Amino acid sequence: MGDSLRDDAATFTLTEGVLMSGDWILSCAMAEDRALRPKAVYSFRKVEDAAPIRLKIRSDDTWVITSQDGTFVEKCGFVVVPIADSEANEGSGLVLWNK
């Protein structure tokens, strides 16, 4: 049993600051967690044709991250995706992470 698990194990290599195994990328949460409990690890497939993400600094010292998939905005120290549909208020948004 132990040998079959060892044969199927992924080998990750550090390439340009990214841990990769074939088409898979290994990642962790962006927020620092100093707790002694185990940390979550995420894996996802590398996407070659992903839209570039651009950071725009506004004149009022706020910033906006834009990509082909949407716009991210800082509001009160939170990064949010503005919601623009008929059922949502214009000022509402989905919180992604806290700075």
Strand partners, 67: 70
| Residue 35 belongs to domain spanning | 13-96
The residues, any chain, with a CB within 8 Å of residue 52's CB and separated by 6 or more, are 67
Tell whether 7 is covered by a domain: no
Q: Is there a domain that residue 27 lies in?
A: yes
Phi-psi region of 59 (alpha: psi -120 to 50; beta: other; left: phi over 0): alpha
DSSP state of 3: H
Identify whether 4 is part of a domain: no
The number of domains in the chain is 1
CA distances from 44 to 18, 19, 40, 48, 54 (A): 12, 11, 13, 13, 21
Write out pLDDT tens, residues 66-91. Answer: 665 556 666 666 666 655 544 444 44
- Tell whether 2 is covered by a domain: no
User: What are the tens digits of pLDDT across the range 1-36?
Assistant: 455 555 677 788 888 778 888 888 888 776 777 889
Token pair 């898979």 in the structure block, residue? 24
Task: Flag whether 5 is in a domain.
Answer: no
